[in-house]
Amino acid sequence: MPITPRPAIFCFSKTGHSRRVADAFACRTGADIVQIEVERYRFPLLWIARAIWDVGRKAAPPLLTGNIVPAQRPWIVAAGPVWANEPAPPLRSVLAGLATLEAPVGVLLTCGRSKEQSNSFATCETVLGRPLAACVSIPNDIEDTEDMDVLLSAFASAMTGRSSLGAA
């Protein structure tokens, strides 16, 4: 019997919010989580200065997990935090690595403020080189609430719908 490949969530999380939200999204969708690690943000305190510096210079730091060459996946989500009104630089690295794939790609951001993250999503599309299949931002203060469930449910429907359209 052929094995149906599972969707994948490539998740970078420095302080745990994105990981928890990605876990909730994985539970809902049956996706695999691939944890993204980078060396640059491991030093206490210094990492914050580096984070803001790297956002300004549009850096895409090398991933400790190496090049992303996902096996066939029906869809892929890149998940991580907003830093200085932009996607955290490791998300740039992930999206650049996904640019040549045909699978639909969505972005899940976590953020401290509950404002639209349109600037960050526009950057993600630029790096990916094509429109996102779907996007969602989850402010920290709705983590683990019904509001988060509603947003993740709509995001899951959008991603799942795109994958079946892609297969048609």
Query: What backbone phi and psi angles, to 5 degrees, belong to 107?
Result: -130, 130
**10 contacts ligand FMN (rule: CB under 6 A):** no
Number of residues that bind ligand FMN (CB under 6 A): 20
Q: Are strands 105-111 and 76-83 parallel, antiparallel or unpaired?
A: parallel
Tell me how far, at minimum, the Cβ of 142 lies from ligand FMN, in Å. 11
Work out which of 17, 73, 92, 162 binds ligand FMN, going by CB under 6 A. Answer: 17
Interaction of residue 123 with ligand FMN, rule CB under 6 A: no
- Contact assessment for residue 104 and residue 163, using Cβ atoms and an 8 Å cutoff: yes
- Is residue 166 within a helix (H) or strand (E), and if so which, with residue range? helix 146-167
Out of 18, 29, 93, 123, point to the residue binding ligand FMN (CB under 6 A): 18
Q: What are phi and psi of 127, to 5 degrees?
A: -70, -40
Residues that bind ligand FMN (CB under 6 A): 13-19, 48, 51-52, 81-85, 110-113, 140
